[in-house]
Chains A and B, each alone.
Chain A
Amino acid sequence: MRKHQSDYQIAQKRILDSVLTGEFDIENRQNLGPLVPIRLFQVLRMVALGANVEDMLGDGAPALVYHSGQSLGQILGQAVMQQADKNLEVYVGQIEQLCKKLSIGLLIPETIDLKAGLFELRVDECVSCAGIDGVSSPICHFEAGMVGGVIRTFFDTNVKAKETKCNALGDDTCLIQVKLT
């Protein structure tokens, strides 16, 4: 028997298939085209999946956002994993290209310490927090979860990812620290 899929799951599959194949042309947007302003993305990320979720879940909101990012990171990681053939350098390189192509940000590895199980990756020009300032703590929980999901997929182990620098705090980049656990 075919497993029932919710409408969100059907939409998710359609969207992710396009993202992973790089097919960004889109039906029913003959006049407006496939691109939207970053501010609209930020409305979805910081308002719909930020302030509004926080209104409902309070301190539970960052966990939900982190988990959403982690799910996406795992999907991206699985898609790239087959081509990378267990080579970390190739794997990270492919993820960098994908993040650039999707304009998520410029992903740059800062620290890779396999012995300590510690990774630090910069996200320059982060799509979530570009042009935002005056916050009191890092706000890119989605990106932290995404990077964590990518690393977790490669090593097939639990990780803890934390944003230690954030553009919106006045830092010159968003820095995600990932520890294998």
Chain B
Amino acid sequence: MSNVTAIDSRKKSIDDIDRILRDLMNLQGVTAAAIVDRDGLVTHIRRNFDINTDALGVSVQIVFGAASKSATHVNHRSADIVICENVDGYVLLAPITSGVMLSLVTDDDALLGRVRFELKEAIPSLKKLFIDSV
């Protein structure tokens, strides 16, 4: 009986995570929303274009890791959100818990402030889901 409960609750977590990613995808200009584990593997993703998930996952960890290190070098403790402003859009990275990261990809008509706000809003809910699922 307990096994059945565990599977059900895990499925619910996956559904909840998927719902959060779907909501983020509904923001103007957001083209991909992904969750990346500490090993750089994409565990959940919603996107509306072809994307190399391997390359995305490892770059998320490398870029955020480098940004966090540079934050410590200038006495900023650690990185909170990393925003890459690219020629054709933005990539935003934020830690959820224990090395797990949320990454959003946008095109250039995204409203950066709105995306950043919603990203910050999503983190506590995702954090709870990941902590509960461990």
Contact = CB atoms under 8 A, between A and B. Distances in A.
Interface of A: 55-64, 66-67, 70, 141, 158, 160, 162, 181
Nearest to B66: A57
A63 B66 CA distance: 12
B39 A66 contact: yes
Looking at chain B's contact residues, the main secondary structure is: helix
B69 A57 contact: yes
Interface string B61-81: 111111011001000000000
A57 B40 CA distance: 13
Interface stretch (B24-32, B50-58, B103-111, B118-126): B50-58
B122 to A, nearest CB: 21
B40 to A, nearest CB: 3
Interface of B: 37-41, 53-54, 57-58, 61-66, 68-69, 72, 99
Contacts of B64: 59-60
Contacts of B65: 56-61, 63
A181 B37 CA distance: 13
Contacts of B53: 158
Contacts of B99: 59
B65 to A, nearest CB: 2
B114 to A, nearest CB: 28
A158 B41 contact: yes
A55 B69 contact: yes
* Residue from B38, B40, B54 having most chain A Cβ neighbours under 10 A: B40
Contacts of B39: 62-63, 66, 141, 160, 162
B68 A63 contact: no
B59 to A, nearest CB: 9
* Residue from B38, B54, B61, B63 having most chain A Cβ neighbours under 10 A: B61
A150 to B, nearest CB: 15
B69 A63 contact: no
Contacts of A60: 40, 61-66, 68
B40 A59 contact: no
A57 B65 CA distance: 4
* Residue from B62, B66, B72 having most chain A Cβ neighbours under 10 A: B62
20 contacts: A56-B66, A56-B69, A58-B66, A59-B61, A59-B65, A59-B68, A60-B40, A60-B62, A60-B64, A60-B66, A60-B68, A62-B39, A63-B39, A63-B40, A63-B57, A64-B58, A66-B40, A66-B58, A67-B40, A141-B39
Contacts of B40: 60, 62-64, 66-67
A141 B58 CA distance: 13
Given A57-B62, A58-B65, A58-B68, A63 B54 contact: no
Contacts of B37: 160
